[in-house]
Structure 1
Amino acid sequence: MVMRKSKMSLIFQAAIDVFSEKGFDKATMDDIATRANVAKGTIYYHFKSKEELFFFLVEEGVELLRDGVEAKLLPEMDPKEKLEVIVREQINFFGQYRDFCVILLREAWGGEERQLEFRKMIRSYMYLIENVITEGIESGDFHPVNPENAGAGIFGMLAISALHILLGKKQYDEEALFLDMNRMVFAGVLKHT
């Protein structure tokens, strides 16, 4: 994530690097401090625990994703166009912020408390997808499905597909992934005329 080179940005980047390399459970605040080239006390000045730092990273990343997608959704777009924007932008985001993607998706299914926090944070983004699904249902363009289930399904399909490529160290071809996922999304929600 792009930030000015302050101590805080060094801590964030170091935390993203360490969490993505070692996983949440094996990462330590010492590892993060060493990577950021700051004293461990500097990290504890801003964050009470490794968990608090992790949640802050996830929250910031989800907000960046949501804000980026919202900025591309224009009122004059129809629901199909909006859903295509969501698919493209989520895929592009995960390609641009690969380490964050790995952290978000691999670590989100940790302990029960972490899962609950993760679901709260990701909810604002999934609500955006749900609103587009609801709009498409109301306009008659989409099948009448449960918008919450559809939103979770679309987010999950895109996220797991991206993670599969990133963890497999394969080339992350955003356009090819967009074309495949777009076809999958619309074969399921768009009414055939």
Structure 2
Amino acid sequence: MGVAERRRREKEARISLILKHAGRLFSKQGFENTSMEDIARAAEVATGTLYLYFKSKEDLFYSLLTPMFRLNHDGLARTTSDEAEPADATLRRIADLFHESYRAEPDILRILWSYDAARYQTVMSDTNQERMVEAIRQHVRVMERLVERGMAQGRFRPVDSRVTAILIWSMFMGIFQYENNRRHLRGSDHLQETLRASVEFILSSLLSGPDRAGGG
């Protein structure tokens, strides 16, 4: 391995370590209560080292969230790519996808699912704020297209696809926040079961008559 390649890998490893510790601190303490000094201390690097890779705390924060937005979007795109699959089956797989994403990156998902536009507006630039909003819009649009597919398949009764997509997305967000609080207070973990139960609750309203009893 050449010197340049070794340095590149060392840099990537250092950035990954910084992001890992930053994610834990932001998840536990919140953006406002976490300083660059806190992150440097946790990652065991000099504060100046952080500024070699990130212009500011906001830049670090956004660098932390961007890959997860992309992974979530790509995962949703893959999960919904089979146009022939019954839409209700796809929705069940989306719930499992979110659960798997949480298991892989719990700290980042806690930050994403506790998104508060009013709070972030005070700490993030307009550009990054709009990027986050657009990422969430993309996720909702995927849900909207899925609802439209379900209606076209005759499996979902006629509904407002946009409103229904927002309701589904909001329910998922609420479940993540509730289960995170319950895990923190009681140490219990019922995320997967609750996500699956929420999907069945949604489908009990969405599925058309012949499909309602069959469960997919």
Q: Tell me the residue number matched to 1:100.
A: 108
| Aligned pair partner of 2:149 in 129, 132, 135 | 135
- Correspondence 1:185 to 2:202: yes
Runs of 5+ in structure 1 lacking a partner? none
RMSD over aligned CA atoms reads 2.3
What's the CA shift string for 1:108-147, capped at 9, x where partnerless? Answer: 3314365644321222222221211111122222233332
TM-score (normalised: structure 2): 0.77
For the 8 Å contact 1:129–1:151, the answer to whether it is kept is yes
Q: Tell me the residue number matched to 2:20.
A: 13
Shift of the 147–47 alpha-carbon distance from structure 1 to 2, 3 Å rule, reads farther
- Correspondence 1:34 to 2:41: yes
State the identity %.
Answer: 24
Distance 1:45 1:134 in 2: 47
Q: Tell me the residue number matched to 2:213.
A: none
Distance 1:176 1:36 in 2: 35
1:77-116 → structure 2 map (5 Å cutoff): 77-109=85-117, 110-112=119-121, 114=124, 116=130
The structure that has the greater radius of gyration is 2
Worse-matched range after superposition: 127-136 or 170-179? 170-179
Distance 2:209 2:154 in 1: 11
For the 8 Å contact 2:86–2:155, the answer to whether it is kept is no
| Aligned pair partner of 2:172 in 140, 158, 172 | 158
Q: Tell me the residue number matched to 2:7.
A: none
Distance 1:175 1:47 in 2: 35
Runs of 5+ in structure 2 lacking a partner? 1-9, 211-216
- Correspondence 1:168 to 2:182: yes
Worse-matched range after superposition: 83-92 or 16-25? 83-92
For the 8 Å contact 1:91–1:177, the answer to whether it is kept is no
Worse-matched range after superposition: 152-161 or 118-127? 118-127
What's the CA shift string for 1:19-77, capped at 9, x where partnerless? Answer: 01110111111111111122223322222221222222222112122223333445241
Q: Say how many residue pairs are matched.
A: 190
Matched to 1:148, the amino acid is R
| Aligned pair partner of 2:52 in 42, 45, 60 | 45
TM-score (normalised: structure 1): 0.85
For the 8 Å contact 1:94–1:162, the answer to whether it is kept is no
Distance 2:161 2:56 in 1: 36
Distance 1:40 1:120 in 2: 32
For the 8 Å contact 2:175–2:191, the answer to whether it is kept is no
What's the CA shift string for 1:83-119, capped at 9, x where partnerless? Answer: 1111221233234432222211334331436564432
